[in-house]
Amino acid sequence: MVVSGAKGDEVLERLPKIVLALLIQGMVLLVIALGVYLAPLLVSPPYPYWVLILIQGSLAALVSCKLGLPCWWRWIQFFIPVGLYAGMLINFDPIWALVIFVVVWLVFSNAFKERVPLYLTNDTTRQALSNLVKKKRRQRFLDLGCGLGGNVAYMSQQKPVAESHGVETAPIPYLISKLVTLLRGGQTFAMDMWKTELAYYDVVYAFLSPEPMPRLWEKVKEEMHPGSIFVSNSFPVPGVEPSEVWELSDSRKTILYIYRL
């Protein structure tokens, strides 16, 4: 039975991204195996391994976006075979490979679970957030997916901000954020953003990815009180006109989408 069309797209979307990535690698490997089998008809063997590895990584990176992976995964897809080949050449101890994998997972686990990479807010954006809250008093600020906690600490030092909180579930970023806020101010919590009660806050900030925005907007509408503000860095809510759009003058050309409830 072959799954095609919209049903096929739905099946691919439901797969965990790491599973889809490995399926793509396997599919490309089969294509290369077929190519090696047929290649003697045109080019005499042997074929350098490094050439085959580069073809493997390049093809996997090329088709990843087409088959439902976020395009930033193309770099991961390219370096999976290249990294494995390099490890074989230098007799890399598999134990260290396991250690590296665990560390990467502890840092970027949200990229696998929620399809949200680790994005860090820069100083220009923090200044813009400070300007956003300075006209009111006793503001309660929340950073959804606060990363290393720098944003939470910065906002805690702004006079109009009575409380500055952040939530983070990736283990290593959370531990770093806990230390940063302990030293500089604010509080972070090891809490899933979907279980965080937004009604308590006056300003909620998110720097996530396009993936969770529709669901997050439903949560924002349901929980945040009238007069509160939701701010999304770089990723607008699909189909919803923001109250304001701030284009910042930093090197990444950050855009803040501001939604006033």
Condensed to tens digits (0 to 9), the pLDDT of residues 82-101 reads 887 887 777 767 676 677 66
Name the residue type at position 19. V
pLDDT digits (tens, 9 = 90+) for 200-239: 999 999 998 888 899 999 999 999 999 999 999 999 999 9
Q: Name the pLDDT band for 105 (thresholds 50, 70, 90).
A: low
For residue 218, count CB atoms less than 10 angstroms from its CB and return exposed for 0-12, middle for 13-18, buried for 19 or more.
exposed
Q: What is the pLDDT of residue 4?
A: 45
Copy the structure tokens of residue 75: 């770099």
Radius of gyration, alpha carbons of the chain: 23
C-alpha distances in Å from residue 72, one per residue of 17, 55, 61, 76? 12, 19, 9, 8
CA geometry: angle 233, 16, 69, nearest 5 deg: 55
Name the residue type at position 257. Y
Q: Which domains does the chain have, with CATH numbers?
A: 5-92 (no CATH), 123-260 (3.40.50.150)
Q: What's the rounded Cα separation, in Å, for the pair 245 and 250?
A: 15
pLDDT at 39 over 90: no
Q: What's the rounded Cα separation, in Å, for the pair 179 and 186?
A: 10
pLDDT at 137 over 60: yes
The DSSP secondary-structure symbol of 235 reads: -
- Answer whether 214's CB lies under 8 Å from 191's CB: no
Give the torsion sign (CA, 107, 29, 14, 70): positive
Q: What is the pLDDT of residue 87?
A: 77
